Structure 1
Amino acid sequence: MKLFSLTVSLALLGTAFQAQAQTASSTKLGGTVTVWSWDSAAKGLQSTVPGFNKLYPNVKVNVVDLGNQNVYDRGLAGCAAGGADLPDVYSIENGEAEVFWARFPDCFTDLTSLGADKIFKNYPAFKWSELSVGSKRYAMPWDSGAVVMFYRRDLYQKAGINPASIRTWADFEAAGKKMASKGVKMGTIANGGDDEWFRMLANQNGCYYFNATATQITINQPGCVSALSTVQRLNSAGILATGDWNTQITNVKTSRVAGSLYGAWYEGTIRTNAPDQSGKWGVYLMPAAQAGGRRAANLGGSALALPAASKNKDAAWAFMQYALGTTQGQVTMLKADGLVPSLLSATKDPYISQAQPYWGNQKIWQTVLGTLPQIQSVRGSQFYQDAHQIMVVVQSDLLKGKYKTSKEALDDAASKIASATGLPMSK
């Protein structure tokens, strides 16, 4: 099913949901709703407050930017303390969400009790996989991390590279060698600090740390081996820079790299950190593993949860519905901070088809959102952090030459994850 030919019934569901939010304003909700979030996500939520207050003028929304790690750590501590000191609305990354549901199943409100079952089809299925336990929905989908390649038009042109000709990772490698001859890398990999390139390519190949039910370790299956082999090959070709989050941004600002492979939320990061490069950037689909293969994946993305201990649940739920369940709320955050909508009805908003000046007047949001139907679901599980930390080290060791092959490296990773989690390895 094409993203831009959604059924009429789905559009009606989205309209009904917005009408529900507007009708609820007649309940005269009041009080304060405290929201914990971080960085651009906090700014995005803050941008929706004026529109929300037109419907709910008596509700004060207090968005608190605590930083990503602090939100996670304080959330775990609050749940361990029976919900003490938690906010009314809690921001949570999809990949880390299942840690909370598994360890603290009573810490957050089951949103089906508030009507979330009626909006399930309003979002891509992959956004719900880590937010649900059986029939329970513990958080509401927020932004997506649809992966694309952000690239510098001017640098590609100087190197004689046509982005339309890059359809596979082999094409990307060949283009990277041309770019390297100009003293510029194709992108930055966070070797030793993260494994995001591996995760993006593994998701593209239908593989992840764990299987769809999070009951087996699948990190050494063929799709993952192919993904890590590609990362190893690109790194060995000398076409990628290495660096942490701040270094990656510096590489963009100083034109040391000609692009960034990331979830689409990175759009706001580039635009706000390199305003002087307006008009020089563009977007194309991530290369496929082989000709005709999938050119879509997801990296990151978040959700909003409602702590069970909230003393203003009705107002908190109303804010969540407005920010995440209405086209107006979702598009406001897209415009403000590049937070890519998960709400399917928002993909039909006229803004999505507008040319974006910073991106060389390309209609980038059509490209980005057009990949949503192709993204495959993954399960981070309650053991996400264990697997992630192990994989970061294994990938780094592979690129340092401590393993002969990617298969050997991933077999070792699978064994270590099994020891850390008690889960069996898939055969």
Structure 2
Amino acid sequence: MRLKLLGATTLAAMLASGSAFAEQTTITVWSWNVAASALKSTLEGFNKKYPDIKVDVQDIGNPQVFDKMLAACAAGGDGLPDIMSIENHKAEIFWNRYPDCMTDLTKLGYNADIKKLFPDFKRTELEVGDAAYAMPWDSGPVAMFYRRDLYEKAGIDPATIKTWDDFIAAGKKVSAANPGVVMSQADFNGDSEWFRMLANEQGCGYFSTDGQNISISQPACVAALDKIKAMKDAGTLTAANWDEKIQSNTANKVATQMYGGWYEGTLRSTSPDLSGKWGVYLMPSMTADGQHAANLGGSSLAIASSSKNKEAAWTYLNYVLSTNEGQVTMLKSFGLVPSLLSAVQDPFVNEPLPYWGGQKVWADILATLPKINPGRGTQYWGDADPIYRAVQTKYLAGGYPNGKAALDDAAQQIASATGLPIAK
């Protein structure tokens, strides 16, 4: 039988001993693809400590999780599993539309000491006032993944690339020394990736960090968009979608890819023959002494209010997310980048990796976590992102006189779609 909720101290002691559950309890988790596989990789270690909790991880696909969650929350939570994976930038859709659908984790033991284990930027979208509706899982600290051999042939030391203007200058040298090679690539038509990374680096985004205003037309965002156009105009950035980038990687046609740290696994799995030729360095900034960190991607785990196994679900969340053992198991097995700040001290994280030329890439990538600016997806992410992408395409094709005019237009369109005011 399932224990009734105990006092926090008593429950914590029983959970620590693995004896809180008198008989077998099964909890169900919805996730997708590699994320689901990563969760499955933690089960052996978890069940050594908690043999009476069976975890059934179901890989039902990314859009399916989101769609099924929305439908179930609209129906009062009927049909939800115990635990669900939620992408951070979509999380606030649930808290705003269905505030009673997810469990406030602070009622189960998610206290101030545990919250401090994670960077602020990962918690911003998951908490409303004193309530916390999900717990940080993986993150996407941005890194420059570069080809050592192509840089060396051009005489470029990545340590000297401090600014985006340095990156443009280096790109010209790389292309000159390696005919047919471009410095980097961006999905100008189908994604907002580069803008979101540069804007986040500069402390800007579609919405203000309190979620109350539209901030896309603020100076820091304008500077990000104008720098992207400067890189495109200089030939430093050329257009390519996800699949085209992978093809360019394997065909030795690109020298750099900028992405969240999770791209490490993509490169290793899709370009295995290039072992030893790739390296990592920090993203450039607007100025040499500026911010050199941003985030792209990342998810969280939430417990349904309708769950009949909340204590068991919390036991699993606490193990898999707030311990190095849980987080680093997922990093080691499937390249999911921890949000847990202490993970940077783990022995595996500090190992030199042969694929990366002996570089301790995880130590370098995870060291940026405390420096990343918070950002908000808000409940209006689905309105704002398509508007920005259309404006970006038009601007890069010469449809606006400057970045300010482009983002003023984007801000007006987002205001019309959401009813939010534009930040002054």
- Place the TM-score, normalised by the shorter chain, in its bin: over 0.9
Shift of 1:24: 4.1
Contact 1:25/1:55 (<8 A) preserved: no
In structure 2, distance between residues paired with 1:72 and 1:185: 36
In structure 1, distance between residues paired with 2:12 and 2:270: 34
Contact 2:18/2:51 (<8 A) preserved: no
- Are 1:402 and 2:379 matched, yes or no? no
In structure 2, distance between residues paired with 1:214 and 1:278: 43
Match of 1:112 among 106, 112, 116: 106
Contact 2:197/2:295 (<8 A) preserved: yes
Shift of 1:352: 1.8
Residue type at the aligned position of 2:139:
S
Could you list the per-position Cα deviations for residues 338-358 of structure 1 after superposition, in whole angstroms to 9, with x for gaps in the alignment?
Answer: 211111222221222111111
In structure 2, distance between residues paired with 1:195 and 1:420: 18
In structure 2, distance between residues paired with 1:176 and 1:83: 52
Q: Give the aligned partner of residue 177 of structure 1.
A: 172
Distance 1:392 1:116, change over 3 A: same
- Are 1:102 and 2:113 matched, yes or no? no
Q: Give the aligned partner of residue 329 of structure 1.
A: 326
In structure 2, distance between residues paired with 1:334 and 1:391: 32
SS class of match (1:353): coil
Q: Give the aligned partner of residue 206 of structure 2.
A: 209
In structure 1, distance between residues paired with 2:169 and 2:14: 53
Structure with the largest fraction of helix: 1
Shift of 1:318: 1.4
Contact 1:18/1:326 (<8 A) preserved: no
Q: Give the aligned partner of residue 60 of structure 1.
A: 54
SS class of match (1:381): coil
Match of 1:306 among 288, 297, 303: 303
Contact 2:341/2:369 (<8 A) preserved: no
SS class of match (1:342): coil
Match of 2:248 among 222, 247, 251: 251
| Unaligned residue ranges in structure 2 (runs of 5+) | 1-10
Match of 1:382 among 379, 382, 387: 379
Match of 1:224 among 221, 225, 245: 221
Contact 1:356/1:364 (<8 A) preserved: yes
C-alpha RMSD of the superposition: 1.7
**When the two structures are aligned, how many residues end up with a matched partner?**
411
In structure 1, distance between residues paired with 2:351 and 2:154: 29
Residue type at the aligned position of 1:334:
L
Shift of 1:416: 0.3
Listed as ranges, the matches of 1:272-291 within 5 Å are: 272-291=269-288
Could you list the per-position Cα deviations for residues 366-409 of structure 1 after superposition, in whole angstroms to 9, with x for gaps in the alignment?
Answer: 21111112111111111111111111111111111111211110
Contact 1:38/1:65 (<8 A) preserved: yes
In structure 1, distance between residues paired with 2:362 and 2:423: 37
Q: Give the aligned partner of residue 194 of structure 2.
A: 197
- Are 1:39 and 2:33 matched, yes or no? yes
SS class of match (2:103): coil
SS class of match (2:349): helix
State the TM-score, normalizing by the size of structure 1: 0.93
Match of 2:21 among 27, 30, 33: 27
Distance 1:279 1:28, change over 3 A: farther
In structure 1, distance between residues paired with 2:268 and 2:16: 33
Q: Give the aligned partner of residue 127 of structure 1.
A: 122
